[in-house]
């Protein structure tokens, strides 16, 4: 059966769709058979994918599934022997549709920006996941630092601080990979390319490859 990963956060503006796009592309390059479900009303992933198709870079499919059919459709996709991973791009906050996606997922991937406010929101998200685990105990929660600046104290401190905050939550991991604050990440979306095509030798491309590798390792453990 296919593994379901939803990319979700407690708030918008954390780089959720950029994460979903580049992780999906990295998984495909690594040989995984991927399909993406875009549940975000802003349809950010779908807009990027439309530009991608015009370039002839079709790759994986992207589906837009209405909330009322999400449970049924994801379950059907999970049983598709031609798929390895279903990646769900959720709205930019914990809405009902996000709750439904989380319930159907094996893992939740959540970007965390280097600010004290985002740490607070991540704590709220962790509490949400903890509540979900009362009914769905096998969900894994995976966080990582996005838009990191090595010279900023909070970029250096937020990883260890978040690990300490979440250390008593089972199946909760803060990854070592950090996605840098980079111009290439701000620019790639408008091209229909992934970061690996737009800036293949950049630090951002290397970081997304490492991030995806760590996500896969988490799922295998």
The pLDDT, as a whole number, for residue 154 is 47
pLDDT exceeds cutoff 90 at 175: no
Tell me the domain boundaries of the chain: 3-220
Contact 98, 90 (CB under 8 A): yes
Per-residue pLDDT of 184-218, as tens digits, reads 888 998 899 999 999 999 999 999 999 999 999 98
Per-residue pLDDT of 77-107, as tens digits, reads 999 999 999 999 988 665 666 778 888 999 9
pLDDT exceeds cutoff 60 at 148: no
- Whether domain 3-220 has CATH 3.30.1490.100: the reply is no
142/110 Cα distance (integer angstroms): 6
- Angle of the 116-133 helix axis to the 153-166 helix axis, nearest 10: 20
DSSP 191-217: GT--HHHHSTTSHHHHHHHHHHHHHHH
If DSSP codes are grouped into helix, strand and coil, which group holds residue 219?
A: helix
Average pLDDT for residues 49-55, to the nearest whole number? 93
The pLDDT, as a whole number, for residue 202 is 92
The answer for residues whose C-beta is within 8 angstroms of residue 185's C-beta and 6 or more apart is: 15, 18, 179, 195, 204
- Beta bridge mates, 107: 5, 140
Q: Which two three-digit tokens encode residue 120? A: 């607070």
Strands 61-63 and 172-180: unpaired
- Residue whose tokens read 């994460």: 19
Number of Cβ within 10 Å of residue 17's Cβ equals 24
- Residue whose tokens read 């709750």: 99
Cα distance from N-terminal residue to C-terminal residue, the chain: 17
């Amino acid at each position: 059966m296919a593994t379901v990963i939803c990319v979700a956060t407690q708030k918008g503006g954390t780089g959720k769709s950029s994460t979903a796009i580049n992780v999906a592309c990295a998984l495909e390059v690594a040989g995984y058979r991927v399909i993406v479900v875009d549940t975000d009303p802003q349809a950010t992933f779908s807009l990027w994918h439309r530009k991608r198709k015009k370039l002839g870079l079709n790759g994986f499919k992207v589906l837009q599934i209405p909330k009322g059919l999400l449970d049924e459709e994801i379950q059907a996709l999970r049983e598709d022997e031609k798929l390895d991973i279903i990646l769900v791009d959720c709205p930019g906050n914990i809405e009902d549709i996000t709750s439904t996606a989380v319930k159907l997922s094996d893992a939740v991937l959540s970007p965390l920006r280097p600010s004290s406010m985002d740490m607070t929101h991540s704590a709220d998200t962790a509490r949400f996941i903890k509540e979900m685990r009362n009914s769905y105990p096998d969900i894994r929660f995976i966080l990582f630092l996005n838009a990191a600046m090595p010279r900023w104290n909070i970029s250096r401190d937020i990883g260890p601080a978040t690990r300490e905050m979440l250390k008593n939550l089972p199946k909760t991991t803060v990854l070592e990979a950090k996605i840098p604050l980079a111009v290439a990440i701000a620019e790639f979306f408008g091209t229909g390319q992934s970061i690996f095509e737009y800036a293949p030798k950049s630090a951002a491309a290397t970081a997304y490859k490492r991030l995806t590798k760590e996500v896969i390792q988490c799922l295998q453990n």
